[in-house]
């Protein structure tokens, strides 16, 4: 693999376990870890999902992951490219993989080993480990504790929160998991004080923008989560940021979901900033068109 030539996520569907990409939200090189090289596995069915249907005979191998991750990181370092993060995302929901815990541990170890071997390396100085999750793993008490401990010990957890109302949840995430149950568990996670980032996709589905009721409920919900997290976490932070992002890449279900006008994302961010300020909460709100 050539770091400089990799510019999209399509290698994931070819069975790649490690796939370097340039990420707008990471603001640079992100080395993706895909725990599902054989087929997509997810508890959501988002209409904007970028994973195209595929099937390979390849299974996940920890040994292959470790070798490929090490090799991709060394290649970036040789080319003086800062590695912004090692990101667990890939073809589905990472916490649904039985390999998730060991793969997370391996990524942390490889980052530490390389940092020791190349002490002072500027390319590794700020390399984060990121998990992009839809949050459904929090329903499992063991996974809840694993994620809480990992987040308290440096994992950057980016948690999807597309909808505050059940109707919009059914439209945006199309999951069999009850919305109320999931929100309640996310609320418990916030109240535990474990740091995390909220990610919300704002787009149109079947030509419809999120309804007014959804916008109001979302601002209220995020503000409540931020308040619960800050109360538990104190001055150190709680919720690290809220990322509002738009549909920027093709999806197999296109044109079911379409990008919303840029002003809609900005408007949502402004509404949230105002609510957070009124509640005296300091949480950055970022927009990625
Ligand atoms: S949660 Fe992520 S992987 Fe799962 S369907 Fe939605 S966008 Fe795709």
Residue pLDDT, tens place only, 16-68: 999 999 888 888 999 999 999 999 999 999 999 999 988 898 899 999 999 99
Could you tell me if 92 and 45 are in contact, meaning their C-beta atoms sit under 8 angstroms apart? no
Q: Is the pLDDT of residue 247 over 80?
A: yes
Record the tokens describing residue 237, joined without a space. Answer: 């932070």
- Looking at residue 10, its pLDDT comes to 66
Q: What is the pLDDT of residue 235?
A: 47
Query: Of the ranges 76-80, 100-104, 136-140, which one carries the lowest mean pLDDT score?
Result: 76-80
Overall average pLDDT of the 213-242 stretch? 90
Question: What spacing in Å lies between the alpha carbon of 141 and ligand 1's midpoint?
Answer: 22
pLDDT of residue 24: 82
- Residues flanking ligand 1, CB < 6 Å: 42, 44-46, 49, 51, 92-93, 134, 160
pTM over 0.75: yes
Helix, strand, coil % in the chain, rounded to nearest 5: 45, 20, 40
Distance 175 CA to ligand 1 centre (A): 10
Q: Measure the CA–CA gap between 236 and 157, rounded to whole angstroms.
A: 16
């Amino acid at each position: 693999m050539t770091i400089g030539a990799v510019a999209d996520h399509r290698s994931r569907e070819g069975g790649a376990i490690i796939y370097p990409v340039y990420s707008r939200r990471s603001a640079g090189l992100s080395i993706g870890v895909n725990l599902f090289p054989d087929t997509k596995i997810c508890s959501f069915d988002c209409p904007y999902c970028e994973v195209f249907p595929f099937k390979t005979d390849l299974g996940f191998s920890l040994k292959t992951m470790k070798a490929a991750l090490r090799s991709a990181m060394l290649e970036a370092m040789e080319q003086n490219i800062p590695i912004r993060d090692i990101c667990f995302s890939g073809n589905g929901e990472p916490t649904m993989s039985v390999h998730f815990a060991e793969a997370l541990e391996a990524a942390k170890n490889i980052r530490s080993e390389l940092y020791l071997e190349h002490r002072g390396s500027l390319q590794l100085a700020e390399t984060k480990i990121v998990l992009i999750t839809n949050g459904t793993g929090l329903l499992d008490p063991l996974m809840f504790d694993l994620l809480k401990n990992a987040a308290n010990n440096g994992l950057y957890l980016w948690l999807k929160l597309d909808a505050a109302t059940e109707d919009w949840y059914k439209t945006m995430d199309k999951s069999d998991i009850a919305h109320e149950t999931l929100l309640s568990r996310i609320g418990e996670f916030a109240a535990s004080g474990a740091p995390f980032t909220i990610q919300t996709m704002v787009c149109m589905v079947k030509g419809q923008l999120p309804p007014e009721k959804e916008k109001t409920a979302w601002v209220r919900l995020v503000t409540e989560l931020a308040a619960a997290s800050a109360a538990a976490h104190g001055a150190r932070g709680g919720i690290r940021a809220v990322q509002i992002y738009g549909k920027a890449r093709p999806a197999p279900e296109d044109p079911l979901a379409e990008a919303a006008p840029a002003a809609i994302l900005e408007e949502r961010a402004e509404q949230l900033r105002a609510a957070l300020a009124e509640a005296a909460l300091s949480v950055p709100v970022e927009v990625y068109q």
